[in-house]
Amino acid sequence: MPSKPSRNHSRSLVGKNTKALLVALLTAVATATETTFAHCTLTSPLTPQPSSLSIASLATSPVISWGVSLDTSSQSLDDYTQSLGGKGPTIVNLYFDWEHLGGLNEPLNCHISAVKAAGAVLMLTIEPWQGLGTDIISDEKTKQMAQLARDINDAGVGLFVRFAHEMNGDWYPWGANPKQFTDAFSKISKAIKAATKNTLMVWAPNTGVGYPFRGAGKYFPSADSEQYKQMDTNGDGALDANDDPFAPYYPGDDVVDWVGISLYSKLAKRAKAKPKSKETKSAE
């Protein structure tokens, strides 16, 4: 019958295992790197890229770019990148409220640090939840937006600014208002272009399928409004599928660099709503 290990031997085994665990933990901490943007420092096992690729080069690259828009409350960009073996996405989309410009914005700063650590390009989708009035898209806020873009570029991160996406729909407070949108987009684009060298503006309407989306949201204009007239591209007094879903909202080639389209699949919903076929009986 084999003899039991002595208490001293057991203690030595525990000591060896503890030492090994400590070495592993200390090694992990030693190899972790820090990436900082503004006042947020991210500690990550990813190696920060010294500089992001120029976003202008993406247009001519023969490689298809992979982009993500993560629910960061359930999965961080760091975790997502590690799940892919350390090969992160080329473009990372983040949503940001226009009204929060000029604040501390710690959550945004930390997300930007994560994008930098992953060596990705940032797409910042700016949402003006208070609308597009000149009191909202003010000179001060526009300057703050341009400064934010410049700070992101200076940190070595390329930037796409996707302002007021799906503006040709009526489900957002900035939607179905062509003149206000084109004025706001142009103003912001010109300020950003004057302040940055590695930022591009993205014009991102919704697909025209189903336009003018009457009843999809609560911001559809009344028939006697200026917005209605601006959307009535054929001038027949009616908004329908014969009207151009894009032209009234396009601010011009001088302020648009890239075009993006929102396109949603509704096949699952249609499959659930599809009525069951009725059985037929043959005549006797």
CATH match for 33-57+64-264 among 3.20.20.80, 3.40.50.300, 3.30.450.40, 1.10.10.10: 3.20.20.80
Residue 267 has pLDDT above 70, yes or no: no
Instruction: pLDDT band for 8, please (50, 70, 90 cuts).
Output: very low
Residues 92-105 have pLDDT tens digits of 999 999 999 987 77
**Are 204 and 127 a contacting pair, CB within 8 Å?**
no
- What does the DSSP 8-state code read for residue 164? S
The 10 Å CB-count burial string (b at 16+, else e) for 97-136 is: ebeebeeebeebbbbbbbbbbbbbbbbbbbbbeebbeeeb
**Are 261 and 206 a contacting pair, CB within 8 Å?**
yes
The confidence score (pLDDT) of residue 41 equals 76
Number of helices (H), then strands (E), in the chain: 7, 8
Residue 12 has pLDDT above 80, yes or no: no
> How much is the pTM?
0.80
Instruction: pLDDT band for 281, please (50, 70, 90 cuts).
Output: very low
Which structure tokens are listed for 223?
A: 């028939």
Over residues 1-27, mean pLDDT? 41
Which structure tokens are listed for 160?
A: 């796409």
Which structure tokens are listed for 72?
A: 């960061």
Q: Which residue has the higher pLDDT, 40 or 238?
A: 238
Q: For residues 26 and 223, what is the distance between their CA atoms, to the nearest angstrom?
A: 68
Q: Which residue has the higher pLDDT, 38 or 70?
A: 70
Q: Which residue has the higher pLDDT, 109 or 27?
A: 109
Residues 200-226 have pLDDT tens digits of 999 999 999 999 998 788 999 999 999
Q: For residue 174, which amino acid is it?
A: W
Instruction: pLDDT band for 33, please (50, 70, 90 cuts).
Output: low
Which structure tokens are listed for 27?
A: 């090694």
Question: What is the percent of the chain with per-residue pLDDT over 70, rounded to a whole number?
Answer: 78
Contacts of 58 (CB under 8 A, 6+ apart): 65, 90, 121
Q: Which residue has the higher pLDDT, 92 or 49?
A: 92
Residue 130 has pLDDT above 90, yes or no: yes
Which structure tokens are listed for 222?
A: 């009344």
Query: Which of 29-33, 45-49, 167-171, 222-226 bottoms out in mean pLDDT, i.e. has the lowest?
Result: 29-33
The confidence score (pLDDT) of residue 213 equals 93
Residues 142-186 have pLDDT tens digits of 999 999 999 999 999 999 999 999 999 999 999 999 999 999 999
| HSE (side-chain half, CA atoms, 13 Å) at 118 | 31
Residue 20 has pLDDT above 50, yes or no: no
Which structure tokens are listed for 38?
A: 């503004």
Residues 81-90 have pLDDT tens digits of 888 887 788 9
**Are 217 and 206 a contacting pair, CB within 8 Å?**
no
The confidence score (pLDDT) of residue 83 equals 87
**Are 135 and 141 a contacting pair, CB within 8 Å?**
no
Over residues 46-55, mean pLDDT? 58
**Are 149 and 195 a contacting pair, CB within 8 Å?**
yes
**Are 157 and 115 a contacting pair, CB within 8 Å?**
yes
Instruction: pLDDT band for 13, please (50, 70, 90 cuts).
Output: very low
- If you write DSSP's letter for every residue of 125-144 in order, what string do you get? EEE-TT-S-TTTS-HHHHHH
Mean pLDDT of the chain: 82
Kind and range of the H or E run holding 91: strand 91-97
